Amino acid sequence: MNENLDLIWENCLHFMRDNLNAAEDHTDLKKLENSFDLLFDKVQPLSLENFNLTLLVPSDFYKEYIEDNYLALLSAALKKNIGKGVKLWYSVMENKPQGKEEAITLNMKGKTTVSPKVQQTRPPSVSSELVNPFAIPGMKKVEINSNLKADFSFDNYVEGESNKFAATVARSIAKRPGSTAFNPLFLHGGYGVGKTHLGHAIGLEVKASFPDKVVLYLSSEKFIQQFISAAKARKQTEFSNFYQMVDVLIIDDIQFLSGKSATQDSFFHIFDFLHQNGKQIILTSDKAAVDIMDIQERIVSRFKWGLSAEIKSPDFDTRRKIIVDRLSRDGIVLTDDMLDFLAAEAQTNVRELIGIINAVIAYSTIYKSELSLELLKDTISKIACSKKKVINIPYIQDVVCEYFGIKREQLLSKTRKREIALPRQLAMYFSKEYTNATFTKIGEEMGGKDHSTVMYACDTIRDVGKMDKEIKKYLKDLTEKIKK
Ligand SMILES: Nc1ncnc2c1ncn2[C@@H]1O[C@H](COP(=O)(O)OP(=O)(O)OP(=O)(O)O)[C@@H](O)[C@H]1O
């Protein structure tokens, strides 16, 4: 019978909705339907056994509200769709306060026993497993594409000093998603150091160990786009419902939520729902939570609830291990001096290192056994030449905008809001440092600012950057990105 439960419940809902007017003397049907939908969206049928129907409700309030307002209608619907002897039970999802590790369900009997018999005991085999009360009817069984890259597994993740802590925590989360103290896991670090890889590795491991868990990886840009489309179509509720079905949510580059206040609101509610229900949240960012500008304080504070782990640029030994690991997948073995040479080359991030390894693989395929240290040096110098790029003002502006998650129009605007004015001053400063442009030229390219404004910005950043921790960090990160 349970197989048909969703269908039976759908029919009950349909019957009740159809008869709303008859049940109450209400003239504003639209309003009535809306409040009915809001209420019953959050109610799920949990089980139906021997005429015992158990509904999962988010709190006592829902139970009482249903009993007070929809008793007659619900009884009629249940009689019609299940039969006269049906008894109704509630399973109340109780959320422990902040810091809890799991959600529990409590069973209690409803006032409603459609048959006159009073049921005193817990109905047989009511699952104590958490069922998502926010799932849209009919969506429960929808397969979600997790968007996980099979290559980004723990097996392919080389551990070293720079990432050991983050990797250990990630492995422990993958074993008990949502049940460790590491929720959310906030992974941060520079460009290409392996944050995304680790996020995927957790997701893949969870999927392998708990196939029924819903795992979803996506970039914050995708999240923002989806939110905007949902808002345009007035489907914010469906948007939230969708995310609330997820057991392990992995959002990459969360810093891009900066300045997007409506998306932040929605993210906040999804975050709280998932967290309160023991679902695992994994976030990656190119900066520490406190360094993300223009993001609501309540969100930053939630980032700190779990664990923040920084992944640093890989040290020499880790780089060497990564090279050996990658090349061995293609059956390529290099001599020690070749490995040392390559490991010394790409010092800042693994992505750059992988570019070099791929070039070695390509050359190895062409030259086969003739691969030598000289050939490697030659290959690397060619890569370095082809990678040299022109650093000009528009390029600097792009890097700054991407870093702060703001638009070029904002950067070039006249606004004095700190979250825009500071990136603008930094862009002016870097334009002076890295190009031959005059103050006047920089001013023109920065949205028609006066040369004295540019001079002032450069002096300020230079002076403040000497002692202000925040500015120092921006200078370091942006220098790395501009020179990359
Ligand atoms: N420790 C590691 N072992 C093996 N491969 C790694 C490791 N760290 C990173 N990589 C590889 O380096 C590349 C870049 O890593 P990843 O995309 O995870 O970086 P990221 O920190 O998310 O960077 P960004 O912030 O720029 O997106 C990927 O191909 C990834 O598989």
pLDDT score of 201 more than 80:
yes
**Residues in the chain, overall count:** 484
Asked whether 349 lines ligand 1 (CB < 6 A), one says: no
Residue, of 74 and 422, whose pLDDT is higher = 422
Which of the following CATH numbers is that of domain 316-387: 2.60.40, 3.40.50, 1.10.8, 1.10.3210? Answer: 1.10.8
| CA atoms of 211 and 200, how far apart (whole Å) | 15
Query: By C-alpha distance, which of 56, 54, 109, 43 is closest to 78?
Result: 54
pLDDT for 389 equals 63
CATH topology of 316-387 equal to that of 393-483? no
The fold of 2-113 is: GMP Synthetase; Chain A, domain 3 (3.30.300)
Residue 353 Cα, ligand 1 centroid: separation in angstroms? 10
| Residue 175 pLDDT greater than 90, yes or no | yes
Could you tell me if the ipTM is greater than 0.90? yes
Domain positions in the chain: 2-113, 164-311, 316-387, 393-483
The reply to whether ligand 1 has any atom less than 6 angstroms from the CB of 194 is: yes
Give the model's pLDDT for residue 75.
Answer: 83
pTM above 0.95, yes or no: no
Tell how far the Cα of 391 is from the centroid of ligand 1, in angstroms: 25
pLDDT reported for residue 21: 67
Q: Given a cut of 60, is residue 115 above it in pLDDT?
A: no
Q: Which of 351, 357, 399 to mutate to test the pocket of ligand 1 (most atoms within 8 A of CB)?
A: 351
Residues 6+ apart with CB under 8 A from 445: 393, 394, 397, 431, 437
Cβ of 350 below 6 Å from ligand 1: yes
What integer pLDDT is reported at residue 14 of this predicted model? Answer: 86
Contact 256, 220 (CB under 8 A): yes
Pick among 1.20.140.10, 3.40.50.300, 3.40.50.2300, 3.40.366.10: CATH of 164-311:
3.40.50.300
C-alpha 192 to ligand 1 mean position (Å): 5
> Tell me: the pLDDT tens digits for 346-397?
776 788 888 888 888 887 777 665 778 888 888 777 766 555 566 889 899 9
348 is in an annotated binding site: no
Does the beta carbon of 267 lie inside 6 Å of ligand 1? no
Query: What DSSP character marks residue 14?
Result: H
The class that CATH gives domain 393-483 is mainly alpha
pLDDT given for residue 300 in this prediction: 93
Kindly write down the DSSP assignment for every residue of 198-215, as one continuous string: HHHHHHHHHHHH-TTS-E
pLDDT tens readout for residues 313-336: 899 999 999 999 998 888 888 889
Termini Cα distance of the chain: 61
157 lines ligand 1 (CB under 6 A): yes
According to DSSP, the β-strands at 248-252 and 280-285 are parallel
